[in-house]
Amino acid sequence: MRYIQMQLFLILAILAYSVQGLLGIGRLQSVAVSGRLICDGRPAAGVKVKMYEKEFFLDRKMAEVYTDVNGVFQITGRKREISTIDPKVNVYHKCNYAGICYKKFGITIPDDYITWGYSPNRNYDIGTLNLANKYTGTTTDCLN
């Protein structure tokens, strides 16, 4: 009986989430992040940076960019949500790594950088990050 209740709860939660997205319920929110990525002191050009909205079941991609020849990126994302969005930025790189897949680490964006509306009022600048450093939560990702 408890198993059936759990299944029913999960189905209702997924249905509620889907209806919210289809009907456009919630407020439009936006966020912007910028920074510079280097590898051992040299610009990390062509590094993939993705912005996600952290969700209960599966994170949803909001935007994707690549660093320029100087290792600089600017990414902006927006999403309609009833509650405050919980954005993060993932960086996928091969700095000092020769594996088939990519090294990945994420940066959670503070709530005070989230703007109600289409265009962000503030930009979260992560500064210059050396991809040769070890970052907490770094994993290997083959399906980015």
Tell me: the pLDDT tens digits for 55-106?
988 899 999 999 999 999 999 999 999 999 999 999 999 999 999 999 999 9
Task: Give the integer Cα–Cα distance in Å for 88 and 61.
Answer: 10
Q: What pTM does this model have?
A: 0.82
Sketch the domain layout of the chain as residue ranges. 27-141
Q: CATH assignment of 27-141?
A: 2.60.40.3330
Q: Residue 87's closest CA among 64, 104, 117, 110?
A: 110
Tell me the pLDDT band of 19, cut-offs 50, 70 and 90: very low
In the chain the beta strands, taken as DSSP E runs, fall at 27-39, 42-43, 48-53, 60-66, 72-81, 87-93, 102-108, 115-116, 123-130, 139-141
**17: exposed, middle or buried (C-beta count within 10 Å: 0-12, 13-18, 19+)?**
middle
User: What is the structure's pLDDT at 25?
Assistant: 81
Which pLDDT tens digit goes with each residue over 27-43? 999 999 999 999 999 99
